[in-house]
Amino acid sequence: MSTKQFLIRGSEKVIRHYQFLLDTAKSDQEREKFARRIDEEKRNLERLFADLTQAAQAA
């Protein structure tokens, strides 16, 4: 497993964890915070996939 693949798996786990926290949040403030973090982590994941695709095309 490459470093990028490892980071992708980690990002996916983080998203699932934040989704659980979002689903069980007790206040609107918590829901907003977890939704922002999910969005941020999804952007990170998109960048990792783009980097992985570029590396595969270059090889």
pLDDT digits (tens, 9 = 90+) for 17-59: 999 999 999 999 999 999 999 999 999 999 999 988 888 888 7
**pTM of the full structure:** 0.85
The two structure tokens encoding residue 47 = 């960048």
